[in-house]
Chain A
Amino acid sequence: EAGVVQSPRYKIIEKKQPVAFWCNPISGHNTLYWYRQNLGQGPELLIRYENEEAVDDSQLPKDRFSAERLKGVDSTLKIQPAELGDSAVYLCASSLDLLAGDTQYFGPGTRLTVL
């Protein structure tokens, strides 16, 4: 079974440029998560989708960040414009029903460097 797929794996951009990350969750997983992991810290949730609905986006900086999950499968996270402080690893994860004891599976992440 294929795991969570993310692309690109690495991205280097200059500040004020836009950037987008793509995630393909495990087939059949209705819940999709985007996390940001700063160096030396644990992942922090940015947004959680249940199918195509964003049910928790309270930690998403909405002035520059946006996300979508069309058709409830793939998802895209965008930053426009990027700032120096956005340098981090952006992780995508998916799960069935976490409350029922299912596991959250993580992708390899996209390492973003903003110069």
Chain B
Amino acid sequence: AQSVSQHNHHVILSEAASLELGCNYSYGGTVNLFWYVQYPGQHLQLLLKYFSGDPLVKGIKGFEAEFIKSKFSFNLRKPSVQWSDTAEYFCAGFKAAGNKLTFGGGTRVLVKP
């Protein structure tokens, strides 16, 4: 069964700090990976996605993620966070043959002003 796991449940950091959230997937073959964000009181929004090509993917709001096939990872990064990045972040993936999106458990990020 395909699964996606996120390493941290909660992250607290100060403004201007760098952020890295871990994500690992458990299945081989062709994979498609996503990071979604859910700001307080809002619905899930896509930050970025990887389907093929350049393993370094740039998304909205200064976020990027790197697909490392050998490590089954797709970590999310932002070099300098802002208070407005306070949100819950979800990694998700699907295997092309399954066409079913599987989410990780999410990481709550709190950025202190």
Residues of A within 8 A of B (CB): 3-4, 33, 40-45, 48, 56, 91, 93, 98-99, 101, 103-109
Contact = CB atoms under 8 A, between A and B. Distances in A.
8 contacts: A40-B106, A41-B106, A42-B106, A43-B90, A98-B101, A101-B51, A104-B101, A106-B43
Contact of B105 (A41, A93, A104, A108): A41
B103 A42 contact: yes
The range of chain B's interface size is 20 to 34
Given A103-B49, A106-B43, A108-B42, A42 B99 contact: no
Interface in B42-83: 42-46, 49, 51
Query: Top 8 closest A-B pairs, CB basis?
Result: A42-B103, A106-B44, A108-B43, A101-B51, A106-B43, A43-B103, A42-B106, A42-B105
Nearest to A43: B103
Interface of B: 4, 9, 32, 36, 42-46, 49, 51, 90, 92, 94, 96, 99-106
Nearest to B98: A56
A93 B42 CA distance: 14
Nearest to B91: A42
